[in-house]
Amino acid sequence: MDARTLWSFRQRLAQGGLGGRAIFETLSQQLQPHGFIPRGGQIVDASIVQAPITQAHTAEREALNKGQTPEGWSKKRLAHIDRDARWTQKHGKSYDGYKLHGNVDARYKLIRTLKVTPANADDGQQLPEVLQAANTRDRLLADRGYDRAANRQTLQQHELADGIARRAMPGRTAQTRLKQRNRTINRMRSRVEHVFARLAQQGGKCVRAMTLARKALAITLQCAACNARRLAWLVMSAGASARPA
């Protein structure tokens, strides 16, 4: 197979985002026959997937985030920039790229649903789109970025227990119960970080593709591969535990 044929095949998969999702869902259907149905509740989180490094000043980043051409940039320079990628900040550091919003089941740590957006997308607004239809435990865990009334109402509508960490209320001095609640949630919620770490180990946090459609395809395929590796490990572990000592 030559490079042109492979490129054309990837283009067809990327169109409309259906190709990558079809592959992801087909692999997800293989989980149930092995008994790995969603268990333990849902954990929702987002992780930044960086685009190739773009040298830009603050004003230039703001222009790119608005879909505008920074002042003084030539067409040639702009052609080498991923126009769908967006700048965002996390822990005081700037990142240019995309976000993977994922829903992982707490028992098996398998990616059940996902969505890819530009990096400046608000995590909290993506919650309704990554909810899963079924899980043996009616609980959802998420960090403080999802703490908003609309999300709590969404959980009520889906009859899910609220496991969203809370932001500190301004002016309140007694935050002991709030901090204790958040610590308990974060201890359980940390299991999703194991999934993002696996993705990083297999190269899923550094995807060489431009445009949102191509990036979404590449990340979705990485998530499918991550689930396949996890499934193989779970099957082997289950088989090992069933063998006599």
Instruction: Work out the angle at residue 64's Cα, subtended by the Cα atoms of residues 61 and 68, and round it to the nearest 5 degrees.
Output: 135
Mind listing the pLDDT tens digit for each residue in 115-149? 999 999 999 999 999 999 889 999 999 999 999 99
- Whether 201 shows a pLDDT value over 70: the answer reads yes
State the pLDDT at residue 3. 63
- Whether 194 shows a pLDDT value over 70: the answer reads yes
Q: Is residue 137 part of a domain?
A: yes
Q: Is residue 140 part of a domain?
A: yes
CB-based contact 109:237 (threshold 8 Å): no
Residue 180 belongs to domain with CATH number = 3.30.420.10
State the pLDDT at residue 245. 38
Query: Which residue did the predictor score with more confidence, 241 or 53?
Result: 53
Q: Is residue 150 part of a domain?
A: yes
Q: Is residue 216 part of a domain?
A: yes
The strand pair at 93-105 and 86-90 is best described as antiparallel
Rounded CA-CA distance 74/45 in Å is 37
Which residues have CB under 8 Å from 13's CB, separation 6+?
A: 19, 20, 23, 217
Domain limits for position 185? 38-52+83-237
State the pLDDT at residue 15. 67
Q: Is residue 228 part of a domain?
A: yes
State the pLDDT at residue 77. 84
Beta strands in 138-230 (DSSP E): 139-142, 161-164
Q: Mean pLDDT across the stretch 196-208?
A: 80
Q: Mean pLDDT across the stretch 175-203?
A: 89
Q: Is residue 25 part of a domain?
A: no
Which residues have CB under 8 Å from 221's CB, separation 6+?
A: 20, 23, 24
* Least confident residue range of 55-59, 80-84, 123-127, 238-242: 238-242
Q: How many Cβ atoms are within 10 Å of 9's Cβ, its own excluded?
A: 12
Beta strands in 9-83 (DSSP E): 42-50
C-alpha distance from residue 45 to each of 124, 189, 192 (Å): 9, 9, 7
Give the global pTM: 0.85
Q: Is residue 98 part of a domain?
A: yes
Rounded CA-CA distance 226/196 in Å is 10
Q: Mean pLDDT across the stretch 3-11?
A: 66
Distance of CA 19 to the CA centre of its chain: 18
Q: Is residue 106 part of a domain?
A: yes
- Whether 158 shows a pLDDT value over 50: the answer reads yes
Residues in the chain: 245
Rounded CA-CA distance 58/60 in Å is 5
Mind listing the pLDDT tens digit for each residue in 104-118? 999 999 999 999 999
Mind listing the pLDDT tens digit for each residue in 11-51? 666 666 667 888 899 999 989 888 999 999 999 999 999 88
Counting the structural domains of the chain, the total is 1
- Whether 244 shows a pLDDT value over 50: the answer reads no
Beta strands in 77-222 (DSSP E): 86-90, 93-105, 111-118, 139-142, 161-164
Listed residue (121, 107, 110, 109) closest to 46, CA to CA? 121
Q: Kindly state the percentage of the chain with pLDDT values over 90.
A: 49
